[in-house]
Amino acid sequence: MTQTVSVVIPAYNSARTLDACLRSVLAQTHPVHEVIVVDDGSTDRTAEIARTHPVVLIGGEGNRGVSAARNAGIAAATGDVLFFLDSDEALTPDSVANALEILRDDPSCGCVHGVIAPEPLFDDGPVEWYKTLHAYWWRARGAGVVETAFFAQAAVPREVFDRLGGFDERLRDSEDLEFSDRLAPHYRIILTERVMARHDEEHRLGPLLSETYRRALLLVPALLSARAGGRSNLTANTPASVLAAALCLGSVPLPFLALLLSAPSPVVPLLAALPAAGLLAFCLANLGLLGFAARRRGASFVPFFTGVHLANHAALLAGAARGALGALTSARPSAGDRRTPERAAAR
């Protein structure tokens, strides 16, 4: 029996990308039953652009966040399978068909989700290329049966929501982690490259690092929670990469400190070599990723990619350190405050 598919697209100030997003949905090789755009209080031309396409447009009551927008889409949908797509993404033509095939072949699967394409939706420069290449790399590396679902591009049978309920509307960030915690004990979650979308990523370095820092604030509590629950969530950076970055960045002040303290002369050169050793270790820990970047953008792009990747690790480490300090001096965050540090990415 052919399953009908409702595509749910939460949208907030998405005028830049919504047309490309909707065109990709309407061009799927498996025709969709309906497309539901949930306008989450946009102040730009999002609603106007949605009306130029054959979609169901739902107007939200102000900006309530992605969880509330997705829940509104779930309530309005009539399809057997709900396919969630972020409004700043454009699907490859066979993504819906591939997701349905995987769900059909594995009745125990409760969610099929995809990866970010290595090419951005719009080419806005080298920072965005760094972001898309890295986003593709770590997701593709983890493809298979996983414990975490990302709902930027994901297909879920309606019966899953009938059983588990919707998204936690208290969460405006990493709501997919909370839903994954409820999903994984009952259903298999499959991450696959057969579902793929080009994403309009952040293209400015400052906002990119700020986002990484913010998401890292609850890194330590989130990792402890995952370990306590016996889960192994997908992460954007390996422990070896994070440790090497910490060595590289943390050792930079040491030779200067040694000079200030009038340390014996052989000590200073040894300490001065530590940042270089850390950088080498960082490159070795990311050798596969750097090679992938070289194949996609050329060898001349690798130094820039490495520098941004190291800066992103610096923001991650700073956020994690502050978050760990806060966790030691205050009560553990409630479930409504949980966020996943490395995700989203993940977004």
User: pLDDT (tens digit, 0 to 9) for every residue of the chain, 347 residues total?
Assistant: 679 999 999 999 999 999 999 999 999 999 999 999 999 999 999 999 999 999 999 986 788 899 999 999 999 999 999 999 999 999 999 999 999 999 999 999 999 999 999 999 999 999 999 999 999 999 999 999 999 999 999 999 999 999 999 999 887 776 888 899 999 999 999 999 999 999 999 999 999 999 999 888 876 665 555 555 555 556 889 999 999 999 999 999 988 887 777 767 777 788 889 999 999 999 999 999 999 999 999 999 999 999 999 999 999 999 999 988 887 776 544 444 444 434 433 44
Instruction: Enter the tokens of residue 165.
Output: 């309920």
Distance from C-alpha of 105 to C-alpha of 70, rounded to nearest angstrom:
26
CA-CA-CA-CA dihedral for 318, 323, 326, 331, to nearest 10: 180
Closest to 236 in 3D by CA, of 88, 133, 338: 133
Distance from C-alpha of 36 to C-alpha of 77, rounded to nearest angstrom:
7
Residues with Cβ < 8 Å from 308, sequence gap 6 or more? 126, 127, 130, 205, 208
Helices (H), 142-218: 158-164, 175-183, 205-216
Q: What pLDDT, on a 0 to 100 scale, did the predictor assign at position 271?
A: 86
Q: What pLDDT, on a 0 to 100 scale, did the predictor assign at position 336?
A: 44
Closest to 169 in 3D by CA, of 37, 61, 71, 60: 71
Termini Cα distance of the chain: 34
**Residue ranges of E strands in the chain:** 5-11, 34-39, 56-59, 81-85, 89-91, 109-116, 144-146, 153-157, 188-199
Query: For the CA atoms of the chain, what is the radius of gyration?
Result: 22
Which pTM value belongs to this model?
0.86
Please work out, in degrees rounded to the nearest 5, the angle formed at the alpha carbon of residue 142 by the alpha carbons of 138 and 145: 155
Distance from C-alpha of 152 to C-alpha of 21, rounded to nearest angstrom:
12
* Neighbouring-strand partners of residue 85: 153
Distance from C-alpha of 16 to C-alpha of 120, rounded to nearest angstrom:
14
Q: What pLDDT, on a 0 to 100 scale, did the predictor assign at position 217?
A: 83
Distance of CA 3 to the CA centre of its chain: 28
Distance of CA 11 to the CA centre of its chain: 17
Q: What pLDDT, on a 0 to 100 scale, did the predictor assign at position 346?
A: 40
Q: What pLDDT, on a 0 to 100 scale, did the predictor assign at position 340?
A: 41
Q: What pLDDT, on a 0 to 100 scale, did the predictor assign at position 33?
A: 97
Q: Are 71 and 166 in contact (CB under 8 A)?
A: yes
